[in-house]
Every structure is written in C-alpha cells, then in structure tokens.
A and B are shown apart, each in its own frame.
Chain A
Amino acid sequence: MECIVNGKRAHAATGGIEPKAGAPVLVLIHGAGMDGTVWQLQSRYLAARGVRVFAVDLPGHGGSEGPALASVEDMADWVIAFMDAAGIKQAAVAGHSMGALIAVELAARHPEKVKAVGLLGVAAEMPVHPDLIAAADAGGPLAPELVTDWGFGRISHIGGHPQPGLWVMGAAEQLLESAKPGVLAGDLRACDVYKKAAEQSTGVACPVRIVAGDEDKMTPLKNAKPLMGQFKDAALDVLGRTGHMMMLERPREVAKSLRDLAAL
C-alpha cells in the first residue's frame, strides 16, 4: 500500500491481503539499509491470520520516497506520521536492529499509539565498527558483505534454508546492495550515535517481547539484557543457532512470535 507521509510517497507491504478494519495492527520496521521485504517470510503468514500488517519502507528505502532520515528520533516521528496517514490509531510495533531502536523510541514518546512492542536483534546501544561505516561511505559491495557475514549465524553460512532454492546470505546481501547510495552509511551512523534506548525503555509501559539469536554478533544477547530490566513487562525469546538476521534465518519461529505479539 502507498500513502502520503509529510508530503512524500510512503510504501508498506501488507502481506498480499488488503487490511481489514478492526483487525489487530502490526507495524514492522526494518533495519539499516534494508526495506520492508526483509519481513517477506512473515508478512503473508500474519496477513492470512487476520493481522493488518504494514511492513514499512522507511524514507529513502525500498518504495518510499527519500531522502533518508538521519536519526532514530526522526525515523520514530516518521513511523508515527505514517500510522496517522494510514489511519492506524494503535498498533503493535516490531522492529529489527535499527528498527528496534525506532520502536523503543516511538513507544516511549507515543504510548497511546503502541499496544505492544517487539524487539528483534536489539541492544541498549549499537556502536558500529568504524571500518564498516567507512566501507558503507565508500559504496560498493564490501559493507553489504560485512553486514551479511556478521549478520548470519554459522548455519546460514552453509545453508539448508527451509525456503526451497533460497540462498539466504545472497538475498540479504543483495537487499543491502540495492539500497540507494549513502542510505546504509546514514542508517549505520544513526545506530552508532543513538544512546537513548536504556533511558527511553523506562517509559515503555506496554508489553515488550524481545527475540534474540544466540549467535548474534551484531547485537549480542548480553547487550540486550540491560534493556530487559527497564521495561515494565518484558519477555525474552532466545532462538538457538541463530544470528542477527533472525527473520530470514528462522522464518517460522519469528512469524509465530510476531503473531503472538499482535494478539497481545
């Protein structure tokens, strides 16, 4: 679906089913340099089970008009503006990686808009290796390759994905390579400088569900735990033999977690 947000075209995947009024709403927010198709192995599943799914493309990503936004705070404001434009009064909001920081920020600032929060691959802070930012600034395949290498657990480096014919590492790398110039670097900087997740998490009163991969090198589980105690109602689900790209690595498990989240 498309709508106009702040005067610009915004796009969100809806899982192939026109959202029905009155059904529970789930807004999905992708991570750095990606777009809403990263939820492709969950969005149709959820939509077919009565959830109104909006897998948004942040500005400058996927089918949403640019420019890309420079800070997590601005991205959170944009998601709220998107919800207003799409007529969503309240929703469960789930984010992956940078999208998880956005979800925390908007849940703290707009508690009336957020019914439940899902955080996938989250950490209290997400410092980004300077070499990775430099590679993203330079353009070319290196930065997408590094994110892909670090983003997947050991099993995915060999394969055996449940989706027939899918080489999931190549798919993730290509998704990152398809980002417009400068978008990945800008997103990585936004993650690097955002230090407010712990502070903002104290203001989140709704239920929070954290999904973590036990082989996540980018947001290791130990870096998510400081957030756990700050939320008023939090639960943790750790996926075994899984890295940071859990939606692609464990499509079925993540789909079920998101379905549970939407039902809260």
Chain B
Amino acid sequence: MVQPKFLKFDTLSLHAGQQPDPATGARAVPIYQTTSYVFEDTDHAAALYNLEQPGHIYSRLSNPTVAVLEERVAALEGGVGAVATASGMAALFLAVATLMDKGGHIVASGSIYGGSHNLFTYTLPRFGIETTFVNPRKPDAFKAAIKENTRLVFAETLGNPGIEVLDLPAVADVAHAAGLPLLIDSTFTTPYLMRPFDFGADIVMHSLTKFIGGHGVAIGGCLVDSGKFDWRASGKFPTLTEPYAGYAGIDFADEFGPQAFLMRARAEGMKDFGACLSPANAFYILQGLETLPLRMQKHVANALKVAAFLDAADEVEWVNHPSVPSHPDHALAAKLLPKGAGSIMSFGIKGGRAAGRKFIENVQLASHLANIGDAKTLVIHPGSTTHQQMSAEALAAAGIGENLIRLSVGIEDADDIIQDLKSALRASQKG
C-alpha cells in the first residue's frame, strides 16, 4: 500500500511554518518587532477585521514571528493549528475561558503543576467555575466525577511531581463517552516523545518555556487543537456553535469547521484577555525548537542513567521515574512513550525535610530553581516551593511528601550530573 510522504519530525522542527522572508530573503525567522500592520486600503482593513481574509492587524491578535512558532508546533503535534500565549498558564486559562462560562465544571487530574492546581482550586471558583480533582491512575475516577455541567477533562501526560503516566486512551474514551473534550498538558513530554492526539486527546497545551524552548530564556505557552472534537454533536459548547455577538455574529463551528475552537480562542481570547506572546520570545523559543529532537534524545538518555543511579543509591528511599522497573506505570510508559518517559523525576531522600534541604544546598552543577525542561539540570523541593500553597491533604493526594525532591535532568554529560548528585546525597546524610 502506498504511504504518504510527509516531511518528518526532525525536518518540521527546523522548517515548518516558515518560508524564507519574502521581503528580504532572510533564512532565519525574522523578529517582526511591531505592534501593528499597515492596511493596503480600507477594504483590506475591513476584510481583516471581519475575519474574511487572513493576515495581521495588531500583535495582540497575531504576529508573523509568533505565527511561525504556532504553525510549527501545530505541525509537530499533528493538529489543525495553534494559538501561542504569554505563558503556559495563559494557555490553560484561554482554553477554559473559550470552552465554558460561569457554572461550568472541570474534571482534572489531581497530580498536576501547582500553578494549574491553584487556578482550578482558588481562582476559577471566583468566576463560578468549579473543579473536581481525581487520581490520574484511575480512568473510572474521571468518569465518576463528570457532572451535567462538566465541560472539560484535563490531565498531564506525566503527573507533576509524581510522574504518573496518564492512560491517555482510557481517559479520552471516558471524556468522549460523556461528550466532553480532553485537554492534555504535554509540557513534560513534548511532541517528540508523544503526540497526545494519536491517543485521543482533543486539545494540547504546552508551556513552551520548558523543553520546547529549552534554553531557559523565554516564557511562552500555546494551545494546539486536533480539530477532532465535534462541538455541534456534543451540544454543550454554545461559545462555538451559536452566533457570537462580540464578533459580527460568527457561528465558529459553522464557518470554520475543525478550526472553530482556535478561531474563537484568538478572536475573543487574544482580543479580550490579551495574553499574547511577544515576537522576541517567539524567536527565542523557535531557536530551541529547531533542536528539540536532538535535545530530547539526550534528555531521556541522561534520565535513564540518572534514574538508575538514584534507584541504587543508599541515601534514596524511592525513585519516581517510569523507566525504573518498580514504577507502577513502567509497562504503560513503554506502550505510550517508547522513546522515553521524559527527564523529570522525583525521589525521596532519606532523612526527610532536613536531608532534603541539605541536598538542595549541596548540589553544585544542578541549579535550585522553579523551572523544568531547561537544557541544564535543575532541582527543587516542591513541598516548599511550587506546591507550597497546597494543603497537606492535597499534597498527600498528589503523592508529594516532605522528603520529595524533583529533578529535571539536563543534557550535560551524564557522569557529571551523577557525580554532582552523589556528592550532594552524601552531604545530605551528614549531621
């Protein structure tokens, strides 16, 4: 049987979304550092404002440099398109605000980024949107939590910081059986390790700040839509299937078909909420994206070595990384993440909170900071930083103990990373 000849992942990482600059022939993606764009005439201006013709009006809505990044991530994920945002959190809020009004309800994994957990727990309820958190390892728990007013199911490909592997096909089936879309935060895995659309996700979000940017120099986020969810058939999403008075009465599903969600997210969300990505940051992130396949190979190769080292270390009580055979999701990871289960891991240090503090204070190569997915190795103690706002019960439910250290394995030489960890572990056990 004949097969399609699409450009492959590595090629798309370098090229997708960009032709040499038509004005100058520049090969690199130019930074279009402009707020606005001159209209050809009044007819052209009217056409752009009415979404009649493609083009740029104002960089809060779209920008040529940002558009290259959006198109490239969409190509790598196998989506119909993308909207880039100022950060990953802006992407998550944009998705929620595009899909539901006050009175809406979300079913979310309880093992997610602390910022997302905070948005769902404290901020969205102020606007009348409630969230039920469930164990990401139990697809039936997602099912049981769905209510009449549920509008979204949300989870991360790999839990944070428990590194639970989401049974994505099973959770997608649960969402779809209830007529709901599944939004997946794929920041930990990137499209190089997994394309969630291949397993049933409907919308993917990224913090581009992490592995996709990779250099730790720019904050950004994005939403990618698979275009697969049938908004009309679901009947639960009037923002997409009924005329929108805020934009000339557009019925987005009727006019734009598979692009309905993204068109509404841009036309309303970027216009009214305004959390746009700057062109300079899009440029920085694109520089990282060009080498995503190479970096991810090194990240996961190093992660395997580091996880094996920690698993054997006397100072470590347990290691959470799906590559470790004792991890509960080891087999599921082999199925869904055959190239590797990312380079984020957590481990429990012997000696509890005090030993954890000493460990953090004694690493020299690894950096103690609140980020993941940098090319450099990073460590953090979530109980006192990223997840400090969570209650003791919520921490326990998310599998976060006081002795938990989260490690984002970088692309340095693996021997140097291990040596640094070894000396810090040794120091952590000294009185």
B122: Cβ under 8 A from any A Cβ? no
Residue of B nearest to A129 (CB): B2
Inter-subunit contact A164/B266 (CB<8 Å):
yes
Tell me which residues across on chain B come within 8 A of A48, comparing CB atoms. Answer: 46-47, 50, 52
CA distance A37 to B257 in the complex (A): 6
Inter-subunit contact A158/B18 (CB<8 Å):
yes
Inter-subunit contact A171/B19 (CB<8 Å):
no
Q: Mark B264-281, 1 if CB is under 8 A from A, else 0.
A: 001000000000000000
Please provide the chain A residues from 166 to 221 with a CB less than 8 Å away from any CB of chain B in the complex: 166-167, 169-171, 174-175, 177-178
Question: What's the nearest-Cβ distance from chain B to residue A122, in Å?
Answer: 23
Stretch binding the partner chain, chosen from A39-47, A67-75, A88-96, A104-112: A39-47
> A62, A146, A170: which contacts B74 (Cβ < 8 A)?
A170
Inter-subunit contact B74/A164 (CB<8 Å):
no
CA distance A169 to B12 in the complex (A): 13
CA distance A44 to B259 in the complex (A): 15
A113: Cβ under 8 A from any B Cβ? no
Inter-subunit contact B52/A165 (CB<8 Å):
no
Tell me which residues across on chain B come within 8 A of A142, comparing CB atoms. Answer: 1, 3-4
B376: Cβ under 8 A from any A Cβ? no
Residue of B nearest to A38 (CB): B257
B83: Cβ under 8 A from any A Cβ? yes
Tell me which residues across on chain A come within 8 A of B7, comparing CB atoms. Answer: 157-158
Number of interface residues of B (CB under 8 A): 57
CA distance A111 to B197 in the complex (A): 47
Tell me which residues across on chain B come within 8 A of A129, comparing CB atoms. Answer: 2
Tell me which residues across on chain B come within 8 A of A148, comparing CB atoms. Answer: 4
Inter-subunit contact B255/A44 (CB<8 Å):
yes
Question: What's the nearest-Cβ distance from chain A to residue B81, in Å?
Answer: 4
CA distance A62 to B4 in the complex (A): 25
Inter-subunit contact A170/B68 (CB<8 Å):
no
CA distance A62 to B253 in the complex (A): 10
CA distance A95 to B80 in the complex (A): 24
B181: Cβ under 8 A from any A Cβ? no
Q: Is the interface of B mostly helix, strand, loop or mixed?
A: loop
A160: Cβ under 8 A from any B Cβ? yes
Inter-subunit contact A159/B72 (CB<8 Å):
yes
Residue of B nearest to A162 (CB): B54
> A15, A146, A251: which contacts B2 (Cβ < 8 A)?
A146
A16: Cβ under 8 A from any B Cβ? yes
Tell me which residues across on chain A come within 8 A of B6, comparing CB atoms. Answer: 145, 149, 157, 169
CA distance A99 to B254 in the complex (A): 20
Inter-subunit contact B52/A175 (CB<8 Å):
no
Tell me which residues across on chain B come within 8 A of A38, comparing CB atoms. Answer: 257
Given A158-B15, A170-B78: A131 touches B50 (CB 8 Å cut-off): no
Question: What's the nearest-Cβ distance from chain B to residue A248, in Å?
Answer: 10
Q: Mark B236-279, 1 if CB is under 8 A from A, else 0.
A: 00000000000011110011111100100010000000000000
Inter-subunit contact B70/A164 (CB<8 Å):
yes
CA distance A149 to B15 in the complex (A): 17
CA distance A169 to B259 in the complex (A): 12
CA distance A251 to B82 in the complex (A): 19
Stretch binding the partner chain, chosen from B223-231, B294-302, B365-373: B223-231
A63: Cβ under 8 A from any B Cβ? yes
Q: Mark B47-65, 1 if CB is under 8 A from A, else 0.
A: 1001111111000011110
Give the residue among A35, A159, A161, A162 with the most B Cβ atoms within 10 A.
A159
B79: Cβ under 8 A from any A Cβ? yes
CA distance A43 to B255 in the complex (A): 8
B182: Cβ under 8 A from any A Cβ? no
Tell me which residues across on chain A come within 8 A of B250, comparing CB atoms. Answer: 16
Inter-subunit contact B53/A160 (CB<8 Å):
no
Inter-subunit contact B257/A165 (CB<8 Å):
no
Inter-subunit contact A171/B81 (CB<8 Å):
yes
B75: Cβ under 8 A from any A Cβ? yes
> B2, B17, B56, B75: which contacts A131 (Cβ < 8 A)?
B2
CA distance A177 to B80 in the complex (A): 12
Inter-subunit contact A165/B262 (CB<8 Å):
yes
Inter-subunit contact B71/A44 (CB<8 Å):
no
Residue of A nearest to B64 (CB): A164
Question: What's the nearest-Cβ distance from chain A to residue B371, in Å?
Answer: 26
B306: Cβ under 8 A from any A Cβ? no
A236: Cβ under 8 A from any B Cβ? no
CA distance A41 to B230 in the complex (A): 20
Inter-subunit contact A45/B255 (CB<8 Å):
no
B84: Cβ under 8 A from any A Cβ? yes
Given A45-B52, A174-B227, A174-B228, 17 more pairs with CB closer than 8 A: A40-B255, A40-B256, A48-B50, A62-B257, A159-B19, A160-B17, A163-B54, A164-B54, A164-B56, A164-B63, A165-B84, A166-B74, A167-B16, A167-B82, A169-B75, A178-B227, A252-B53
Q: Please name 21 pairs of A and B residues whose Cβ atoms are closer than 8 Å in the assembled complex, sorted by A.
A: A37-B258, A43-B255, A48-B52, A132-B2, A135-B1, A142-B3, A145-B4, A146-B2, A146-B3, A149-B5, A159-B15, A164-B56, A164-B266, A166-B80, A167-B79, A170-B74, A170-B80, A171-B227, A171-B258, A177-B228, A178-B227
3 tightest CB-CB pairs across the interface, nearest first? A37-B257, A164-B62, A163-B54
